[in-house]
Amino acid sequence: MQRALIIGCGSIGLRHKKVLESLSFSVFFVSMRTDLKDLEPYMFRSLTEAFLDKKGYSLVIIANETIKHEKSLKELESMHYRGPVLVEKPLFASCSQPALESTDNIFVGYNLRFHPLVQRIKKLIAHTKVYSAQLHVGQYLPTWRERDYRYIYSSKKSMGGGVLRDLSHELDLAYYLFGNVKTCVSNIGRFSDLQIDSEDSVDVLSVHEKCAMVSVHLDYTDNIKKRYISLQCDRLSIEADFINNTLSVDNMVEPLRPCDTYTLQDEAIITRSTDVACSYAQGLEIMKYIQMIEKNCMGGV
């Protein structure tokens, strides 16, 4: 049986555990958590301890706090691990580029690329001019997880929280669908009464290689959960609703089958079928996009 190591044991780490076990992996963790008694036999307290086991790992997933990603990658390299590594998004908390010997084996967890809605859009616009695009995601932060939202990393700027990084799937999809960003303007702020010190809302208007008007909205404040992409193209209009899993092309609405994008992503990385997966280099491009958004902010609170 193949073995996987997950660094971090929060909600995303546990989600990957479920996926990997369905793929017949034995799953181990590096975490300081002591409240998960059933996982104690599979829990290491450090990477050094995890790699004392000479059986090795076929996959390593970095799912700890964003500010710890760089340190975890450097530690993995020091352990001489050269297998596939999946780093949960975003790649880093800042636009740094650590000196790593090799990055060809590193991927970033922008799993929405694997969603059938995204793949259908990519095919539909392959030979069509896109005039404008809107990517929107919003959900009320206190309803996200069972834990008190005030104490999760999303609420803490110092830990890499805030919608700009936490909900950066939409930034990756803009990059994936429309190419490199050339320029942008933004508005970033904490406009609600949520008890957080990170930004709760971001709006971005950017120019990309394949679309001159891309609008991205991210928020922690919407009581009506939303995630959609809307495109205005040459003789074609497209809307993808990720909540209801429907694709509208002009006036025709098509329901799509539900899918687990985490499973599709993890399978692709395990089997090295990585043409869709976000590479390390692409993950750095998203960090540059985030840096540009912060630099070109018009205002905010």
Residue pair 71/78 in contact by the 8 Å Cβ criterion: no
Summarize pLDDT for 138-148 with one digit per residue, the tens. Answer: 999 999 877 88
Confidence band for 93, pLDDT divided at 50, 70 and 90: confident
Query: What CATH number is given for 2-108 in this structure?
Result: 3.40.50.720
| Greater model confidence, 292 or 258 | 292
Q: Say how far apart CA 260 and CA 32 lie, in whole Å.
A: 28
Confidence band for 300, pLDDT divided at 50, 70 and 90: low
Has residue 214 got a pLDDT over 60?
A: yes
Has residue 116 got a pLDDT over 70?
A: yes
Summarize pLDDT for 52-64 with one digit per residue, the tens. Answer: 977 899 999 999 9
Q: ∠ at Cα 65 (97, 95), nearest 5°? A: 25
Where in the chain do CATH 3.40.50.720 domains reside? 2-108
| Greater model confidence, 1 or 138 | 138
CATH superfamily of 111-259+278-296: Dihydrodipicolinate Reductase; domain 2 (3.30.360.10)
How confident is the model at residue 120, as a pLDDT? 97
Burial of 92 (0-12, 13-18, 19+ CB in 10 A): buried
How confident is the model at residue 281, as a pLDDT? 95
Where in the chain do CATH 3.30.360.10 domains reside? 111-259+278-296
The DSSP string of the chain is: -EEEEEE--SHHHHHHHHHHHHTTEEEEEE----S-GGGGGGEESSHHHHTTSTT--SEEEE-S-GGGHHHHHHHHHHTT--S-EEEPSSS-SSS-----S--TTEEE--GGGGSHHHHHHHHHTTTS-EEEEEEEEE--GGGSSSS-GGGSGGG-GGGT-SHHHHTTHHHHHHHHHH-SEEEEEEEEE--S--S-SS--EEEEEEEETTEEEEEEEEES--SS-EEEEEEEETTEEEEEETTTTEEEETTEEEE-----HHHHHHHHHHTT--SSSEEHHHHHHHHHHHHHHHHTB----
Summarize pLDDT for 25-78 with one digit per residue, the tens. Answer: 999 999 998 888 899 889 999 999 999 977 899 999 999 999 999 999 999 999
